[in-house]
Copies of this chain bind each other. A is one copy, B any other.
Amino acid sequence: MPQFLDASQADFEAAFNALLSAKREDSPDVDATVADIIADVRARGDAAVIALTEKFDRITLTAERLRISTDDIAQAIDQVSEEDRAALELAANRIRAYHDRQRPEDATWVDDSGAELGWRWTPVSAAGLYVPGGLASYPSSVLMNAIPAKVAGVARLAMVVPTPDGVLNPLVLLAAQISGVDEIYRIGGAQAVAALAYGTDTIAPVDKITGPGNAFVAAAKRRVFGKVGIDMIAGPSEILVIADADNDPDFIALDLLSQAEHDESAQSILMTTDAGFAQAVSDAVDRHLLTLERRAIAGASWRDFGAVITVPDLDTAAALSNRIAPEHLELCVADPDALSAQITHAGAIFLGQWTPEAIGDYVGGPNHVLPTARSARFSSGLSVLDFMKRTTLARMTPAALRAIGPAAERLASSESLQAHGLSVTARLRKLND
C-alpha cells in the first residue's frame, strides 16, 4: 500500500521530508570492475572489446563483425510490421519538428566602445549513443537521443547496443535508421562506453556520449567524463500528478501505473484537493494491479514508493511540487495554465486531462530524457543544445582598446598578472606613438 499523507496534518512536514529524501536505488559499487574494463579497452582495443562481449553477451565476434552490417540491419528491419514502422515514423517526425525549434541562434553586435562581440554555435563532431540490450532496449529512446544529435548537425553518430546471445532488436535498428544513425556496433556495457570514448582500431572515438544504461554503463560514463562529454546519469523514473476531483480516476490510476511499471524503484505520486477522489484513484490502481502484465514491478513500486497526498488547495500543491522538482508533472485541473505558472522546477509538464504522460514518452514531440531525483532544480531534459557548443567572439578596434584597455591594465595589476597588463600596454603604446 502506498503512503497516504494529508498536508493539513501536523506531522505532514516530517513525512513529506522523509518522502523527499527516500533513497530509491542502491546502485551496486561496480567502480573497480569498470576501471579495469576501461583500462583493458584502452590497452588492447578491439581485442578487449571482443573478449568482454564474449564473456557478457555470449557471442563470439571478430573486429569486422563488431559493426552491424547494412545487410544485417536491412534483414532485421524487414521483420517490422507496417503499423510499427508508421508509428515510429510519426514519432520521429514529431520529435524532429519539436527539436528543430531548439536550434540556437548566433549573434554579433558592435557596442558603444566600438568593440565587436558575439558568439557562434557549432555541433559536436562525433557523438556516441548507448542503447541498452534486453528488456530495456527501447526504440523510443533511440529516437529521443539520436534525433536531437542530428538536428544539432552532428556529422557522425555511432550507436552501441549489446545483442545478448546474438539477438538483434528490429525496432531498435529501424529507429536508428529513421533517426539517421551512421554506425551501429553490437557491443554494450562499460567496454562499449570505453570504446566510444577512447576509440579502437575499428571504432573511432567520439566527443560526447549519451543514452541510458545499467550501473556498469553509468559508472563508465562517470569515469570517461572529461575525456568526452556525457549526458546526465539518469535515476529511476518519477511522476507527480496534481488532480482535482473533476477527473476520471481510471485515467489517473493508469498514468501513475505507467511510471510504476518501468521499474520497482520508480515513484508515482498523486496530489489532490479531494480525499474521496484520492481513494477512488487508489482503488482503481489496485484494480488494474490485478491484471496488468507488469503487475509485479508496478505493484512493488506503488507499494514501496507510491504516495497519495491530500492538499487543502492548489497553491499548496504547487509549493510542494516545487520541493519535489518532479521529472514528469501532470496538471489535471480545471485551469492547468494558472497552476503551471506557479511551477518553478519540473522536467516536463503535461497540461490537462487529455495529455497522459505516455504521450510524452513516444509521440508528443518534447524529449523523454528528463532530469530525475530532484535534479530538475538545476538541470534540463536532453535537447539540441546538448550536442552543440558555443564559441564566444571578440574584436577590439584601436578605439575600443583605447576605451577599455586601461581598465584591463588596472585589473591585471591588482591581480599581479603583469604579462596580462603588458599585452594591453604594448598595444596602447603603439597606438599612441
Contacts and interface: CB of A to CB of B under 8 A. Distances in A.
How many copies of this protein are present in the complex?
Answer: 2
Contacts of A424: 356, 358-359
B294 A364 contact: no
A124 interface: yes
Interface string A275-304: 000000000000010001110001000000
B363 A408 contact: yes
A248 interface: yes
A389 B380 contact: yes
A408 B359 CA distance: 6
Given A389-B378, A404-B94, A140 B251 contact: no
B261 A419 contact: yes
Contacts of A288: 419, 422
A111 B97 contact: yes
Contacts of A394: 348-351, 355, 359-360, 364-366
The interface size bin for chain A is: 35 or more
A228 interface: yes
A343 to B, nearest CB: 7
B411 A340 contact: no
Nearest to A391: B346
A119 interface: yes
A74 interface: no
A292 B393 CA distance: 29
Given A358-B424, A360-B394, A383-B390, 16 more contacts: A83-B410, A94-B404, A98-B117, A207-B377, A228-B378, A260-B419, A347-B391, A350-B394, A353-B427, A356-B427, A358-B423, A362-B412, A362-B420, A364-B396, A366-B394, A380-B391
Interface of A: 83-84, 86-88, 90-91, 94, 97-98, 101, 107, 109, 111, 115-117, 119, 122, 124-125, 135, 138-140, 171, 207-208, 226, 228-229, 233, 248, 250-251, 254-255, 257-258, 260-262, 288, 292-294, 298, 336, 340, 343-367, 370-371, 373, 375-381, 383, 385, 389-398, 400-401, 404-408, 410-412, 414-424, 426-427, 430
29 contacts: A86-B410, A87-B410, A87-B411, A94-B111, A94-B404, A122-B344, A125-B344, A125-B345, A255-B423, A258-B423, A261-B417, A347-B392, A349-B394, A350-B394, A352-B395, A354-B401, A355-B395, A357-B423, A359-B396, A359-B404, A361-B408, A362-B420, A363-B404, A364-B396, A364-B404, A365-B394, A366-B393, A377-B389, A380-B389
